[in-house]
Each structure stands twice: as structure tokens, then as C-alpha cells.
Amino acid sequence: MLQLPKTLHNVHKFRHGDRMYVTDVVQCKVLEIDAITWDILELCTSFTSDEIIDKLGGKYSQEEVIAVLESLAEVEQSGLLFSDLDKRISTTTVADRRLRILVVQGNPYVDDLTLVAGGVRVAHTHLVKSLLSYADVEVMNDTDKLFDDGVQGIVFRPEDKASLLKLIQRKYDGVLLQRHTDTSFVPLLRYINAPFVVPIYSLRGHNGESINSALHWYSAMRGFDAFLTPTESVKDFYLSFASDADTFQTILLGVDLDLFKPMDKHAAKHEVAQMLNKPELIDSPTVGFLSRFQPEKGAGIYIKIAELLPEARFLVTAPTLNFYEQQRLPPNLIYLSQQPRDRLSYILNAFDVYCLPSMVGEETFGLAVLEAMACGVPPVVPRFDGLPEVVGDAGVIVPASEYPDEIGSFAGTVCPFAMSEAVNGLLNDKDRRLKLGEKAAQRARNFTWDATATNFVALLEKLTKIQKLTTRHRREFPISFTPYLNQSQRRVGYRAVLSNVTNLKERPLMFDGYVQTVDEGLALSLMNKGHGIHEVEAVLQHLCGETKAKSVLEKVLGFQQATS
């Protein structure tokens, strides 16, 4: 049954003959209603459901009113007529209004992380939750539902123009995408006039699709949009494809320090030994792996390390053993199925060393590594992508080779012998292992989700200032292209001429016209037609190469900034 009172969308009730209708202006829908519904809509903003049942008791039976309230609950679930969103807006004055951030994601929002697997979804959800301290957060969802953690769902259906209109009317201060591979949302840049922040959580992979998705966003981005890169390695990687370094902003991710923290290692080992009915774990040196058990995540290398160190126990916590389940595994390798997140701290604390020999092109950060570090477990990782930036001097980083082009989904390789020596070195040196564990826990405390949210809000404020500058009136100087006789070289050349007359018939520069290179004229002409700077960059790189394109863009942007 519909629970009232509730604020209505902008609705209009009207009669046509004996028939009654209600128009939801926000959703652009017209519904035919009956007299009971008409009366309930008159009262729903001021009275509870029980009060309305009593008030209409002399006119309709209680059963009739309840039946209509139940049908209206279904209407609300479809996103029509009612919304908590507008109620919240009406109680907020302009002076005390907080930031309003839209979170764009293709899958429904889940506020309970207990059963969520996968670093990207975990990181994204933690970032969304942490932003609640600084902003009102609305997440694209299948219903306008207020989640238990305070995140507000907002209905969006790409094929429904009414839901797009609702997003436009919300006047957001910023938009956060879940991941850059969601290129179906690129058109929203043309409708929502707020800075977009697009995280890059997967560096490479999938036959170049990940890179192409990022470059798709890059080409469409306005001057006040940005990528969120979780480590500098991601930014450096993409600057080999794109020249606008300011578009890539590094914001470190965080770790849930309330959940992941050091505990008594003997007690943790005892707990895990009981779970597995493996009492030998209690007194054995234990090396841990917690990730998808796939070749590119280092599963094959991890198995080889276990074979090289038969005296230690190698504990794998993963959804499945993948095709390795059909192989003969070393007897010292123990499998524990995927566990709820509230149990992971016990498992991580049972490790003496955390080993992740991953060489997949998606290790932009290494959230699982950071969670192990927060539990005081020293990690052993390859020198690959974002992992060294997270580990720092609080673990062992093994030299690795990166491939210029992927093979399968591998972006590099690491020697299993080198990894095993690093692991064995820690297992045989207790003092060093414990000191590194303490340093790992201390370093992890610098990675908080609150710091991530604070830096994100600061980035939005910076992008908003840039937006105010870039939306000032830009003078468009006409460009003409012409051949000319180059007498010194005795041949015909080509050049662009910038005319000192703007579309407002002003003459702001000193002289009537200026000769420019064809590349400069082309860039200015394309921008006059409304093309973004990154689109122009792509054209220039194709025509004149990366170095010259960068030089031309720098001059053109400087000219536009000075003349706007």
C-alpha cells in the first residue's frame, strides 16, 4: 500500500466530459483515473494513508480506498506521479543547498557490499557512499528509491525522453560515471551541463576495447570534464594516446579501515583452519591469494610458486578454481570458496604473505592488495601498472616485463622463480616480515575513502571554475583558406587567413587580417563549428602528427582564451 504523505511530481488533473485524467509533466505521461484516485491525489501531500482512509470513509468503502492506494504504490514504482526527490528539494534553501551529484551506472545500485565481488564495484560503491558526507547523491536506478545508506535512486531509461528531461531539470553540480567502458552514456555530455568525472579502472585489455572506450570519452569531453585515474601510471599510459594532460586527474582510492585491520594472527589462522577443517594451517607459514583465479590474474604463476615452496601452505580464496579444478594441483595449495566481505578480514589476517602475480591489463590500483596491507600483511607483487604505487616500500616489488602489445589478456610477464624467491625471503625472515606488515598497515591508513571523497569534491569545484571560464562568449574569427605563390621556393603553397571581423561585427585585433598555417586555420574553423578540442586534436594528429598537433593546439587554445 502506498505510504503517504508524499510530494507529487508537477501534475495537472483535468476532466474531459465524464472522464478524469492526470498529467505527469515530469514524465510526460497522461493517465486516466477514477474519482477515488482523484480525491486521494487531492489529499496525498498533507495526510497519511490511514488519515486518508478515514477522511474518505463516508464516500467510499475502506476496501476501495485501500485497493486504490495499493495500485498507486505500483504507479510510484514505475516512477510516475510521486517522488521523494522533489520533497527533498522543497525543504532545502538555496543558501544551504549541498552539492548534487548524479551517479551514472548501467546496473542497479546495491548499498550492501556484503556479497559484492569485484574491485571495480566495491571501489565505486565506497566512493558513492563516502560522497554522502559532502553532497546529495542520486544514482541512476530502476526506481526512485531512497536506499538505506542515504543514496537516492532516480529512474532513468535511455529510450525514455521523459526520464532524460528529468535529469536535465535536476541541475546537477557534477556527474560521476561508474566506469569508462560505459560508452552508451557519452550522449549525456550533450544534455547535462555539469562536469563529468569518468573513472578509468581498467587500463588495457579486451583487444583494445578498454583503450578505445577511454578515447571515445576523451573525444567527446568538454573543457570542464575529466578522467579520474586511481594512480599516476594510468595517467602516464594514456598520455601516450592523448595530449591534454589536465583531462587526467589522479585521485587515490581508499580502503574500509573499519573492516580491514590487523588482528591476532594465531586466532585468525585458527578461524580459517576451522572453516576448512585444515588444522595444519594453524602452525604453517601461509601465502595467500584473494582474487579471480584466472591465468591473467596470476593463477598459473601462483601454482608454480606453490610447487617451488612445498613447505608453505598456499591458500586460494576465489569464486572458483576455474579450469585449474581439472588439473593436478600441488598438495600444499588449499582452496577456499568466495566469502562474504565481512569475513575477508579473518582470511587476510591468516596470511603471512599476500602474493598477487597478476599481469592483466586492469591492475590500475590493486584494491585487494591494499585490503591485505590494511590487515598488516606484507604483499609481494610485480612491478606492473598501479601496483607499485599502492605498495610503496611496504612490500616486495618483483621486476616484471610489460608488453607493448597484449597477447590474449596478458599485458606483461613475471618470472615465477623471482616471485617465489621474494615470497620465500619473507617467510624465512620473521623480523623483516613483521616490520613490513606493520609498515603495510601504517601505509594503508593513508588511503581513506573520506580522503578520496574530499579530493573528488575538490576536483568538481575546480572543474566548475573552468566551466565558468569556458562558457564565456567566444569570439569566432572567420577563416579562409587560399593558395599563394611562394616566390622563394617558386611553387604554390597554401595558407589560412584569419579575418579581424567577428560574428558580432567587431574588430578586436590590431590589423585587418592575419596569415596562419593551414593546420591552425583548420583547428580554428572546426572549433567555430562547435567541435571540441579533443575532436580537433584527433584530426590534427591524423593530418600532421602528434608533435605538431600538440604545438598547434597550444597556440589555438591560448588564442581562444585571450580573445573570449
pLDDT at 471 over 70: no
- How do residues 350-405 score in pLDDT, each as one tens digit? 999 999 999 998 899 999 999 999 999 999 999 999 999 999 999 999 999 998 88
Q: Where are the domains of the chain?
A: 11-77, 84-250, 265-447, 479-563
Please state the rounded mean pLDDT for residues 118-128.
91
Give the rounded percent of residues in the chain with a pLDDT score beyond 90.
Answer: 59
- How do residues 59-98 score in pLDDT, each as one tens digit? 899 888 889 998 898 888 777 888 655 444 444 443 456 8
Separation between Cα atoms, residue 37 and residue 21, nearest integer Å: 10
**Per-residue pLDDT at 83:** 64
Distances (CA, A) of 226 to 37, 188, 454, 461, 464: 47, 14, 16, 12, 11
Separation between Cα atoms, residue 123 and residue 491, nearest integer Å: 61
Facing residues of 494 across strands? 483
Please state the rounded mean pLDDT for residues 127-131.
96
Give the rounded percent of residues in the chain with a pLDDT score beyond 70.
Answer: 96
- How do residues 17-42 score in pLDDT, each as one tens digit? 889 999 887 677 889 999 999 898 88
The verdict on whether omega for the bond into residue 5 sits within 30 degrees of 0, i.e. cis, is yes
Separation between Cα atoms, residue 240 and residue 219, nearest integer Å: 15
Average pLDDT, the chain: 89
- How do residues 146-190 score in pLDDT, each as one tens digit? 999 999 999 888 777 878 888 888 889 999 999 999 999 999 998
DSSP per position, 430-480: HHHHHHHHHHHHHHHTT--HHHHHHHHHHHHHHHHHHHHHHTS------EE
DSSP per position, 323-388: GGGGS---TTEEEEE---GGGHHHHHHT-SEEE----BTT-SS-HHHHHHHHTT--EEEES-TTHH
**Per-residue pLDDT at 307:** 97
Separation between Cα atoms, residue 315 and residue 223, nearest integer Å: 48
For cell 532516480, the residue is 154
Architecture of domain 84-250: 3-Layer(aba) Sandwich (3.40)
**Per-residue pLDDT at 87:** 45
Q: In whole angstroms, how large is the CA radius of gyration of the chain? A: 30
- How do residues 411-461 score in pLDDT, each as one tens digit? 999 999 999 999 999 999 999 999 999 999 999 999 999 999 999 999 999
Out of 3.40.50.300, 3.40.50.2000, 3.30.565.10, 3.40.50.720, select the CATH number for domain 265-447: 3.40.50.2000
CB 345 within 8 A of CB 331: no
Separation between Cα atoms, residue 223 and residue 459, nearest integer Å: 13
CB 435 within 8 A of CB 293: no
Separation between Cα atoms, residue 250 and residue 123, nearest integer Å: 15
- How do residues 243-281 score in pLDDT, each as one tens digit? 899 999 999 999 999 999 999 999 999 999 999 999 989
CB 219 within 8 A of CB 213: no
DSSP per position, 499-553: ES--TTS---SSSSEEEE-HHHHHHHHHHHTT--HHHHHHHHHHHH-HHHHHHHH
- The CA dihedral of 264, 270, 274, 276, to the nearest 10 degrees, is 90
H or E element, residue 317: strand 313-318
The single-letter DSSP state of residue 245 is: G
Facing residues of 196 across strands? 175
H or E element, residue 492: strand 491-499
**Per-residue pLDDT at 97:** 64
Q: Fold match between 84-250 and 265-447?
A: yes
Q: Which residues contact 124 (CB under 8 A, 6 or more apart)?
A: 105, 178, 179, 199, 201
- How do residues 506-520 score in pLDDT, each as one tens digit? 788 888 889 999 999
